[in-house]
Amino acid sequence: MSLYGFDPLVEDNTFSDKETHDITSSLPEIEIPLHLLFRSQIRWNAKLIANTAVALSPHFINLYQQRKKGDAFKLYCSIFIGDVTLLGYTEEKYVLVQSNTQNIIFYATQGLKFAQLLYRNYQLSFSALMDKNLLTLKCPDISLFPRLDLPLSPSQQFQLTYLAACVKLGVPYNHQVVRYVHTMLLSQNTIIDIAQLPIDYSKPQEQSSIIKPMFTTLGEMNFLSGICCSDTKKPNLIDLMTEFIKLGTNFRIVHFNNCGINSGFTNLSRNARSNSDFNVNYWDLSGNNQIHDIQAFPEILSYNQSPVFLLNLSRMNIPPKVAASIFEVMARNDNFYGVRHLFLQGFPFQDQTVQKNITTFLENANKDSRLELQTLDLSKCGPGMDATLRAFCSYKTQLKTLLLNDNNITPSAFEVICFALRTFNTIEKLDISGTNLTKSNLATIIQTISENVNITKFRIIMDRMAISSDGLLPILRAFLSSRREKWIEISLNGNNMTFDDVEPLQALVKKMHNLEAISLSNNFTEKMKGVGELLGRFFLNGHLKKLTIEGTNEKKLGHELLPLLQAASQCQQLESLDISGNCGKNEIIPLLSAIVSQCKNLKSLKMDGNQINQFEQMDQLITSIKENESVISFSYPVLDAKQFVDSKKQKDQKMLISQISNQQVEAGTHINCHRLALKMPSELPFEANEDVQDLIQEITRDETRHVRGRKLMIHYMACEEMHVPLPFQAEHLSEPENVLLLQNTEKIKVYETPSLEKYVEEDKDNYKGIPFTTMNPDFNTLFANENSSENEQKQKESEVKQSEVVATKERAIFLFNEEEAEKHEDEEEKKPKKKAPPLKKKQIKDNDDDEDYKNIKRRVDDDSEDDFEIKTRRISKKELQRILPIDAEISDSSDDYDDNYVDPSEKAPKFVRKSIEDDDEEPPMPVKKSKPSKPSKASLKLSESSSAPEKPKPKPVKKLSIGTPQVEINRIRVESESETEEEEEEEIPLPPSPLKMKNPAPPISPPPVEVPKIQKKKFQFSDSDDYNQSPPSPPAEVKPLMQPKPKPNKMRPPPMHENPFKKPSPQKKQPVKPKKLEINDSSDDDIDVPPPPHIREIVKNGNKGPSPSKIPVYNRNQFQFSDSDE
């Protein structure tokens, strides 16, 4: 008897067919065929077992026992190779395999081969983890176990480790996940979109399980920088994110828009407290309005250790107490001072504590000279919005976008809007859709924008404002009398426009030579005969580059879409076309192919929701996209595809899904190929402006340093040993062509594995670009949740009922003779241009040969005293209802507001260990340049502020004093400049405002916020060989320190002086003495508000007002507060 009590070696390693079947039937399909099957004597946890069948598969060591020859083998031990911690081999053919729970000694003639193949399989499955020395190898001759120094591509490393994770967790291996990650690595896109994962539609219960091995593997590779998901019901996303944070994944971008999240913040808060690398730069949680533990979110924000670039908390139904705590944390954590994009739709601004904390935040950020706000969304906020808008506009920022849609605009708020448009020189976009502003108010806003000489390009959104029929005329007059070269985009969606509104609008577009984009969605129907041909005339304007005309269930063009597309194919300057939701059916596909082929400047095309059901015709369109290299964005019709597949029998659905998915991937391949040729990054799964894209690209450069300089398109045939195809291959494909042999492979020949010596390079001729990454939602994903019907159709916009009154003679004013208009424009261009002259109302040139035409024109444009009584008449509630949105209530108070929200956890097990270490060297990487001129301001200071050299702080920006709105009498003077040499001055009378102003509630002091102190406790592992040791206990939770209550900041209004930001007029005029605002208590008056008067502000060299009181300063390093002024 030999050592350990073993009998002499047995040479019999034969197995009958029945015995082999008994053994292989206990293994998953992906583990077959076996790598080695032999008989052995073993010592299992000090227990001697004489006759054991040992089966080595790609990921398992299985032990089977047979009582006597001929009996069935029964499995009694299974070891996952990733759990092996020690592998030993001796010259006496003893093999030692040790894990945390098993200790096995093998004694067999094939012991050496068994040990070699086990070590080979471990290296292939965990090649990204070999540097961590998780497996200890002991043998007398190391040349028997050479290291596999194969330069596996990052895609292969992910594939093999992901496969091992799937096997351990019992999750089916999904090769589409590998192909998806392969495209991410090629495009160097480090933001993973959960909504696009190819999940089997027939097994929705696997949605969460398929994500776990994928994320744990990517976390091990240190490749992820962000996680996003949009319009997909996944309630446990926050819990999933928490699990990855535990594994060391450092998410910098978190974008969960309308995902039905209901919990998880409490658990995330506990993990963020103990994580010193909690560095989220981008927070978007919009649309998740049923979170039960939302009260833990302010604490999560307090642990943020890097500057926050974007914060989107829209439509989250946040309680006032939590909203106050959020701004209190932002006021104390200086990482929020430089936030540039702030979205607060539906925020409870009516709470006085919220208002007070917002003021404190703005004061602290301004004092630190870091207030850089560019986007502000205060839409659908109800009472308190005007005070919040006034607070934000009191500081000079780089504000570019102001979103105020679906609000009840009070006179005070209207004054602040006009003040911002007059004062902020960087503002570029304004959204006032669905508000209660009258046509006179809209005209005043248009005129105010025109008067700001520093604004050169502007986008205005006026959706759902009843701008149609006779309500369209004052808006057209306002645009014509403005500086028309300023306007580059106009949106008039959902205004119930009629057939007769199109021609006057086209006349306006023709006169606005810089207008590039117009949106007319949800206006026209197929019942308007000839409207498609009429809309096609928009493309005759040589300057219009973008047309958006989406349809809804009630308003869709149908067959009228065909003549529109025929006209679009002749528009050479066309860059963007959106015809989604119009039910154009299969007839639109050839026309879209012609547009893509003939419009060589086309960049973007959207066509979903047109009831397409012949997807074999889509190949023609995809071929056109391939040939037109200017197309960089294409939304595949996934909703139409889902509707088509649903109509088929279940047995045919799987094949259709595969065909349509391949078609979608092919389209995405061509799109990303074009983007690569233009040195553009892959398209993001969410809408982002240029500033946000620059931030994401900077983060991507930081996270992709691990794969830079590596050959991403060369793969080794070692995948054959693990029974999976190559990363770029589809499933069940034959062996690829052009297989090459690796040189200098003498060392690894001991493994007797020919596939280790072969490699394949992807065909660059057939694969020039980057395939589908984050473009559309993956088609398979749509079947993962059958209840997500709201994603198939857009939300219905509220429509304003208005009679279609045809004013034919009045419209004739705008349809004047084109030859005369062009002739007049040529004469005007020859005249020397003046520098910012005082704007005067332009008169449309009369046709001298048509007296009737002149009379009609005089009647429409006449603003004389005779018409004063008509223009200043009071509007009743019934008429006022036509101006307000459908869901608005006519009330005497401006504070009425109601907003309803409708919207709807499993814990993820862990796998593998920590993330790999960072590489020291960073190879150069091509950087996307958005503009060749100036470097983008969007680059964010991503490093810790303490490590950067300290720069002298500039002086804080002076606070702009808006003061109490002062309104003149009902008639104010407006100067106009006629197109002829004569100048006329007219008086436009305006009615007083009937809105009431309520006194604000007394301020409530905010409760003190507890900021916990972070204490780290390192785990220590012993070097004991005991494999049954229990895991270390977690450190005890440290109680947070109580912080002192901040002192109230008593601010007195600063003295009023002249506005230093308003440029002086060339002609000196006597200033008009401001008068108090007269408030009429009548509830039936029009809400027309006169243009804003002169607003007093702080002079640069004048009195700066009282010094601010001491404000508690947040010290992020020590989590303490001091009362000093820095």
Conformational region of residue 979, where left means phi above 0, alpha means psi within -120 to 50, and beta covers everything else: alpha
Percent of the chain with pLDDT over 70: 64
**DSSP at 836:** S
Cα distance between residue 669 and residue 771, in whole Å: 4
Cα distance between residue 169 and residue 643, in whole Å: 34
Q: What is the enclosing helix (H) or strand (E) of 4?
A: none
Tell me the sheet residues that pair with 49.
42
221 and 321 co-located in one domain: no
The pLDDT of residue 241: 85
Fill in the amino acid letter for 274: S
- The predicted-structure confidence for 729-781, as pLDDT tens digits, reads as follows 876 556 677 788 887 788 888 898 888 888 888 765 444 444 444 434 444 44
The pLDDT of residue 804: 39
* Residue 4, both tokens: 């350990």
> Where residue 860 falls among pLDDT bands split at 50, 70, 90?
very low
- The predicted-structure confidence for 552-598, as pLDDT tens digits, reads as follows 999 999 999 999 999 999 999 999 999 999 999 999 999 999 999 99
The pLDDT of residue 113: 94
Last residue of a domain, one of 306, 326, 351: 306
Cα distance between residue 802 and residue 881, in whole Å: 10
323 and 192 co-located in one domain: no
- Single out the residue of 885, 732, 691, 698 nearest to residue 798, CA to CA: 885
299 and 325 co-located in one domain: no
Query: Is 889 within a domain?
Result: no
292 and 336 co-located in one domain: no
The pLDDT of residue 1031: 40
Helix axes of 175-187 and 207-221: crossing angle, nearest 10 degrees: 40
Structural domains of the chain, count: 3
Asked if residue 97 lies in contact with residue 118, where contact means CB atoms within 8 angstroms, the answer is yes
SS3 793: coil
Cα distance between residue 727 and residue 912, in whole Å: 22
Cα distance between residue 156 and residue 713, in whole Å: 10
> Where residue 129 falls among pLDDT bands split at 50, 70, 90?
confident
Q: What is the enclosing helix (H) or strand (E) of 681?
A: none
SS3 529: coil
Tell me: cis bond preceding 33? Omega within 30 of 0 counts. Answer: yes
Question: CA 237 → CA 154, 261, 312, 1088, distances in Å?
Answer: 26, 7, 17, 47
143 and 17 co-located in one domain: yes
SS3 1062: coil
Q: What is the enclosing helix (H) or strand (E) of 219?
A: helix 207-221
139 and 273 co-located in one domain: no
Cβ count within 10 A of residue 298: 22
331 and 375 co-located in one domain: yes
- The predicted-structure confidence for 342-351, as pLDDT tens digits, reads as follows 999 999 999 9
330 and 297 co-located in one domain: no
Query: Is 352 within a domain?
Result: yes
Cβ count within 10 A of residue 31: 20
98 and 58 co-located in one domain: yes
Question: CA 61 → CA 58, 64, 116, 129, 160, distances in Å?
Answer: 9, 10, 13, 20, 18
Query: Is 237 within a domain?
Result: yes
Average pLDDT value for residue range 1035-1048: 40
- The predicted-structure confidence for 994-1018, as pLDDT tens digits, reads as follows 333 344 444 444 444 444 443 433 3
Question: CA 633 → CA 539, 591, 602, 685, 1075, distances in Å?
Answer: 21, 18, 9, 12, 54
Asked if residue 585 lies in contact with residue 610, where contact means CB atoms within 8 angstroms, the answer is yes
Percent of the chain with pLDDT over 90: 36
The pLDDT of residue 757: 86
92: Cα within 13 Å, side-chain hemisphere:
10
The pLDDT of residue 880: 36
**CATH number of the domain that 56 lies in?**
2.30.29.30
Q: Residue 696 contacts by C-beta under 8 Å, 6 or more apart in sequence? A: 191, 226, 253, 282, 681, 684, 688
Query: Is 560 within a domain?
Result: no
Q: Domain residues for 432? A: 316-437
pLDDT at 927 over 80: no
The pLDDT of residue 435: 95
Long-range contacts of the stretch 874-877 (C-beta < 8 A, 24+): 874/991, 874/1082, 874/1084, 874/1085, 874/1086, 875/1084, 875/1085, 875/1086, 876/1084, 877/1083, 877/1084
pLDDT at 783 over 60: no
Q: How many residues would you count in the chain?
A: 1126
Cα distance between residue 800 and residue 650, in whole Å: 43
Cα distance between residue 561 and residue 579, in whole Å: 8
Cα distance between residue 1092 and residue 1038, in whole Å: 55
Cα distance between residue 735 and residue 757, in whole Å: 15
- Buried-state track 254-276, b at ≥16 Cβ within 10 A, e below 16: bbbbbbbbbbbbbbbbbbbbbbe
SS3 65: strand
Last residue of a domain, one of 148, 172, 197: 148
Measured between alpha carbons, how far apart are the two ends of the chain, in Å? 82
92 and 17 co-located in one domain: yes
DSSP string covering 222-273: T---EEEEES---TTHHHHHHHHHHTT---SEEEEES------HHHHHHHHH
* Residue 747, both tokens: 């060392």
Cα distance between residue 357 and residue 301, in whole Å: 15
Tell me what the pLDDT averaged over the chain comes to: 72
Distance of CA 993 to the CA centre of its chain: 40
The pLDDT of residue 455: 92
Last residue of a domain, one of 399, 420, 437: 437
Q: Residue 922 contacts by C-beta under 8 Å, 6 or more apart in sequence? A: 705, 708
Query: Is 821 within a domain?
Result: no
228 backbone dihedrals φ, ψ, rounded to 5°: -145, 155
The pLDDT of residue 715: 84
State how beta strands 740-741 and 758-761 pair: antiparallel
Asked if residue 1052 lies in contact with residue 963, where contact means CB atoms within 8 angstroms, the answer is no
Average pLDDT value for residue range 512-521: 94
18 and 126 co-located in one domain: yes
The pLDDT of residue 593: 95
Fill in the amino acid letter for 325: S
State how beta strands 94-99 and 84-89 pair: antiparallel
**DSSP at 56:** E
The pLDDT of residue 10: 66
Query: Is 443 within a domain?
Result: no
Query: Is 721 within a domain?
Result: no
- Single out the residue of 613, 567, 607 nearest to residue 586, CA to CA: 613
Of 659 and 1125, more confident? 659
Conformational region of residue 628, where left means phi above 0, alpha means psi within -120 to 50, and beta covers everything else: beta
The pLDDT of residue 91: 86
- The predicted-structure confidence for 814-855, as pLDDT tens digits, reads as follows 443 444 444 555 555 554 444 434 433 333 333 444 454 344
* Residue 115, both tokens: 């040990």
SS3 190: coil
Distance of CA 363 to the CA centre of its chain: 30
**DSSP at 93:** S
Cα distance between residue 229 and residue 453, in whole Å: 42
The pLDDT of residue 803: 37
Asked if residue 304 lies in contact with residue 329, where contact means CB atoms within 8 angstroms, the answer is no
Cβ count within 10 A of residue 348: 21
SS3 851: helix
pLDDT at 315 over 50: yes
Cα distance between residue 694 and residue 224, in whole Å: 17
140 and 6 co-located in one domain: yes
Stretch among 242-246, 319-323, 637-641, 890-894 having the lowest mean pLDDT = 890-894
Cα distance between residue 925 and residue 681, in whole Å: 12
Q: Residue 182 contacts by C-beta under 8 Å, 6 or more apart in sequence? A: 155, 158, 727, 728, 771
The pLDDT of residue 826: 53
The residue assigned the tokens 């020395």 is 133
Query: Is 252 within a domain?
Result: yes
The residue assigned the tokens 């259709």 is 656
